[in-house]
Amino acid sequence: MTVKFSGELNDKMKGFYRSKYFSATGEERYAGVTQFEATDARRCFPCWDEPAIKATFDITLDVPQNLVALSNMPVLEQKPNATDSTVLVTFDRTPIMSTYLVAVVVGEYDYVEDTSADGVLVRVYTPVGKREQGRFALDVATKVLPYYKDYFNIAYPLPKMDLIAISDFSAGAMENWGLITYRETFVLVDPENTSLIRKQSIALTVGHEIAHQWFGNLVTMEWWTHLWLNEGYASFVEFLCVDHLFPDYDIWTQFVTDMYTRALELDCLRNSHPIEVPVGHPSEIDEIFDEISYNKGASVIRMLHHYIGDEDFKRGMNLYLTRHQYSNTRTEDLWNALQEASSKPVGAVMSTWIQRMGFPVVQVLSSRQLDGNRRLLSIAQSKFCADGCEAPEQSLWLIPINISTPSSASAVSTVLEASTAEITVEGVGEQDWVKINPGTIGYYRTQYPAEMLEQFLPAIKNMTLPPLDRLGLIDDLFALVQAGKSATVDALKVIDAYRNESNYTVWSSISNCLAKLQLLLAHTPAEKQFGEYGVRLYQPVAEKLGWDVKPGESHLDTLLRSLVLGRLVSFGCKKTLAEAKRR
């Protein structure tokens, strides 16, 4: 069947659209760009525009000679037109794929290129004159490809990989197979002016979109209801790859502040939604491209990864991708593969986290010291609500519970299935702390009685409690304060123990908590005293860091400096304000 049709190069940033930019001389120009996800391939050509209806695509473009023409596959041949100054560019046939991943770009671009260790030609296309700003993304992409090949145990299926910076682009980036499009600020690094936090964010975005080449493009969700599979999974894997490429970023600690706590904050509200949402009409799809699909999705996959272990996780992923390559899947297909690889009840455990909105709080009802360095904890689970109300329905989750002590990082590992349970922890002295959810991996809050909180303070002061536990402790405590389940005074007393803190992510969690309090106390008689409290808390770490980057300092110290100085200004610290003005 042949269909002739004509369409408009629209200005909606959807379908095949015109992207405005300015030349080096300030002249207004246009590029032609596509953005088809979720249902806009139909704006460009007639098609059954659904993820489960896959086809191969042969694309030919008739373009002006002076412009670059790109698509998913490499160029097969170029023929100049005898009658005018255009070129007929024919691209190789694509593998079988979904319509939303087809891509075309026509415009003026420079590029840098390199070949990855596994033989894939990688190019980063940039605006004319900004070629060098593509180097960082190129370096990340060429290293990520072999890492994923090794991790999934499946080679990248296309002969080339292009990354391109687009001036008018509505998403952050889009994982079109073999031609990934990015907003300029998500891919270009200017060594003179790009901040460290932005550079880190670019590394994560590049890792995220390349993960989709397997998880999303090679194996695609059957329908948009399963969108979280794509996005949650890629949001988890981007951290795996950045941790592999840049171990000094300490990126997993940052995962907790950037992804995990953000998801918890939204998911305890009444207007949250389950990770998996039934989608009926195309207009509903945009609603689920949100932080529940991405952040909560990534957080529960991180919990699952820890629950079954890295080796079984890798094996399960390979099984899933091999079994379903070039076709479509539902959430259950992933659980089945991971269950097969790990022999653990993945489907049963995960369904409670995917199909229900919200999350539990695990409360320690009592803690009793037994003879022979053993302690008996009585715990209960219930739904955690931001406004502190009791949940109308009795919700039970299957919660992977881990417990650590000063002598053991994994003293207990079990799954809490009922609403209450008793757990015996071995090797704990009378004064020792006992931490539920070490590493802040389980997607739930923890509530301790006052005497157990007290036992953490010495370990916080001398920083023997690991960073992620120091962070999780204060974040949970403050969420309980907001829900009216704990006193603000108790939280501030615990925060006071963090004066010697040196970890960036722990500070960003503390700052998040104090910023909320600061808003509440603004324009009240307590505002001045709260400012003084803040200055006393942040001053020691600011003095240690100073204002200027020290040679050889860690990535996280550089990030911490701007955080701490910014907070001191907001607390009205005279010394910091004076120095900021002087500079």
Helices 488-496 and 467-482, axial angle in degrees (round to 10): 160
As a whole number of angstroms, the distance between CA 442 and CA 353 comes to 11
Cα–Cα distance for residue pair 85/109, rounded to 1 Å: 19
Contacts of 200 (CB under 8 A, 6+ apart): 242, 246, 249, 251, 254, 555
306 is in an annotated binding site: no
Instruction: State the pairing for strand pair 68-71/104-107.
Output: antiparallel
**φ/ψ of residue 107, rounded to 5:** 180, -170
- Report d(CA 314, CA 305) in Å as an integer: 9
Q: Which residue intervals of 169-296 are DSSP H helices? A: 196-211, 227-245, 251-255, 261-267, 291
Angle at which helix 346-354 crosses helix 331-342, to 10 degrees, equals 140
311: exposed, middle or buried (Cβ count in 10 Å: 0-12, 13-18, 19+): exposed
Burial tier of 103 (Cβ tally within 10 Å: 0-12, 13-18, 19+) = buried
Q: Which residues contact 97 (CB under 8 A, 6 or more apart)?
A: 54, 55, 56, 57, 72, 177, 217, 220, 326
CA distance 400 to 402: 7
**What residues does 364 pair with on adjacent strands?**
379
Instruction: Specify whether 209 is catalytic.
Output: yes
Among the options 37, 209, 238, 501, which is catalytic?
A: 209
- Residue 470, number of CB atoms within 10 A of its CB: 24
Is position 231 annotated in a ligand binding site? yes
Calculate Rg over the CA atoms of the chain. 26
User: Measured between alpha carbons, how far is 292 from 302 in angstroms, rounded to an integer?
Assistant: 14
| Structure tokens belonging to residue 123 | 């190019």
Is 320 within 8 Å of 338 (Cβ atoms)? yes
Q: Which residue has the tokens 């009378």?
A: 430
Q: Helix, strand, or coil here: 124?
A: strand
Please state, in angstroms and rounded to a whole number, the distance separating the CA atoms of residues 427 and 425. Answer: 7
Residue 60 and residue 497: Cα distance in Å, rounded?
65
DSSP 264: H
Alpha-carbon span 450 to 453, nearest angstrom: 5
Cα separation of 98 and 177, whole Å? 10
Is 555 annotated to bind a ligand? Reply is: no
User: Which residues are known binding-site members for Zn(2+)?
Assistant: 208, 212, 231
Query: What positions carry a catalytic annotation?
Result: 209
